[in-house]
A and B are shown apart, each in its own frame.
Chain A
Amino acid sequence: MAEKPITDEKRVFMTGNEAVAWAALAAEAEIMYGYPITPQNEIMHYWTRLAPKYKRKFLQTEDEISAGFTTCGGVLAGKRAFTATAGPGNVLMQEAMSMAEMMRIPTVVVVQQRGGPSTATVIYSQQETTLTCFGGNGEGLRLVYSTSSHQELFDYTIKAFYMAWKYRFPTFVLGDGYQAKMRESLYLYNPIEKGMPLAESYPFLGQEGRPGVEREPSHLRNTYNTEEELYQIISGYVEDYERMIPEVVEYQVSDLEDAEIVVIAHGIVSRAAREAVKVLRQEGRKVGYFRPITLRPFPTGKLREIAPKAKKLVVAESAQGQLFKLVQEALYGETVPLEPYFKPGLGITGEELVEFLQSNFGQ
């Protein structure tokens, strides 16, 4: 057995892509399938350098369609398999992810969002929120973690493997180009030593024993003959998904007690939001903060609890209303006004949010 990639907890200073590669190693991911696209390339670069030392594998595929489907194949074979992508690659990846959704294949995909639509920029955006949550011709039966720091990229990549295999829904770690490329500090650790269980993987295909003789063969399909058959299958999945929600949903809040305005943001933009809340609180402004960590499932319950107490909710995102739609859906029937702050494809700074929030207090 190869030595453990991480033994003692240690503070490091690195890029987010490097943090993801270490997290996948720590989570004992066994194989990565991938296709080059900026800004996720360095995940593959670090993985291909580190993987052989720890007896892990890598395959560079011909495109993201293949990266998605080979990842499905690796998981079906019983391995903790993952891939990483961005932008147009994420679009192509959705075909395989819809199969993963239908066949309950616990794939892990790390998405480092870039600008869109189309090729757009290789830099940054939050425009893959809808795609990652609801891509494919299905119902969005997925788990999507939106991270905001390198520590979270590390923590949630490890967690993604565990949750994917526990609940058998395709699981996504939704980062972005900033998180991919920036450097900041984080702690690397071995999850086992922290008492965190590893994902229990098992084969869906190729189990031991002669099929049809010693055991039933595995016959897996995603095609059904009748509407009723499909409806029954999907209804069962939806029940599983809804049962899972209270166990997996995550959010972060602060300064809500007396908040008149609550700023809602996810991912890296939540850092600007927290910064702004801090500055405004020092000015005596009654402003609070809400950040969904799981975008699918969305922390609807918590948001509905907060909303009636606020006079206004400000939704800030580097997209034209993709988080906004999730918030709107969660708050259907509530009367609290929603104020958009949309910057599609553009980073959001703390300073600009401070000014925007000030203007919302009627200054």
Chain B
Amino acid sequence: MATVPKMPKSWRVETKPHKFCPGCGHGLVLKALGEAIDELDIQDRVVFGCDIGCSLLAWDFFNVDIVQTHHGRTTPVMVGVKRARPDRICIAYMGDGGGYAIGAQHLVNAATRNEKITAILVNNCNYGMTGGQMAPTTLPEMKTETTPYGRDVEETGYPTQGPEMVAAITREGAYTARGTVAKVRQLKNYLKKALQNQLEGKGFSFVEALSGCPTNWSTNAKATWAFLEENMTKYFKVGEVKVPVKEEE
């Protein structure tokens, strides 16, 4: 019998194995998130919102309260919850299309209003659920279903630098970072800090997680990791972009 890797306590055992494609990075992001929730011991206070796209498959993932919303609209739903119930820890979980395209106005405005929520955005360079179209994060020259000859930046612009954008428009209390599923421990730390920032009521917190999509990239395990660790991280710099200013001791 194969050994089952230890699950975070906040995961819902009944809904495992999860519904993401084999090799998908969502499971790893959600593992890091589950551990962060466990370590902060906030399972009974979390309200988790997930978007449309692959992120919707997280709708029954945790033993926390979850609402699955519309494409791009998880941010406003979580803002609505947080404004009505400031004692809840609200997490808006979305993909790159949901956050940077159809829901960009919500992300931008939640950030500028410094909403005390945590937004987590999974960047896998394409629209996964709908079959691999170009996303705001598709790399230059990268082939997708709607850029079959490769993304032409003259035609379609350059990939969105999300955390950098959010960092530029937020105030001192905000937290912004980019992690990757290739470094789950670091990603977990970023997520934990982002949640901690909400717990402390400092400001908007945002973590982008670089993630693989072998189904739509048509890559095997090795090529998936190579693309993630070489191509993606070359363009999308991993690390903290903005951390709240430390108060003087």
Contacts and interface: CB of A to CB of B under 8 A. Distances in A.
**Overall SS of chain B's interface:** mixed
Contacts of A222: 68-70
A186 interface: no
Nearest to B89: A206
Given A95-B70, A220-B66, 12 more contacts: A61-B109, A62-B108, A69-B73, A70-B76, A73-B77, A74-B83, A79-B84, A211-B63, A212-B64, A217-B62, A218-B67, A219-B60
Interface in A33-61: 33, 57, 59, 61
B41 to A, nearest CB: 10
A213 interface: yes
A69 B84 contact: no
18 contacts: A57-B83, A65-B76, A66-B76, A69-B106, A70-B83, A73-B77, A73-B80, A78-B84, A78-B85, A95-B73, A96-B70, A99-B73, A206-B81, A211-B44, A217-B62, A217-B66, A218-B66, A221-B59
Interface string A78-93: 1101000000000000
A206 B79 CA distance: 14
B43 interface: yes
B81 A99 contact: no
A112 B204 CA distance: 34
Interface in A141-181: none
**Which one of B52, B56, B106 has the greatest number of beta carbons of chain A within 10 Å?**
B106
A176 B78 CA distance: 31
A70 B79 contact: yes
A206 B66 CA distance: 9
A209 B44 CA distance: 6
B243 interface: no
A238 interface: no
Interface in B42-97: 43-45, 47, 52, 56, 59-60, 62-70, 73, 76-85, 88
Interface in A74-126: 74-79, 81, 95-96, 99, 103
Nearest to A80: B84
Interface in A190-232: 203-207, 209-213, 217-223
Interface residues of B, number: 35
Contacts of A210: 43-44, 63
Tier of interface size on chain A:
35 or more
B52 A31 contact: no
B47 A71 contact: no
B98 to A, nearest CB: 12
Interface string B102-142: 00011011000000000000000000000000000000000
B171 interface: no
A220 B56 CA distance: 11
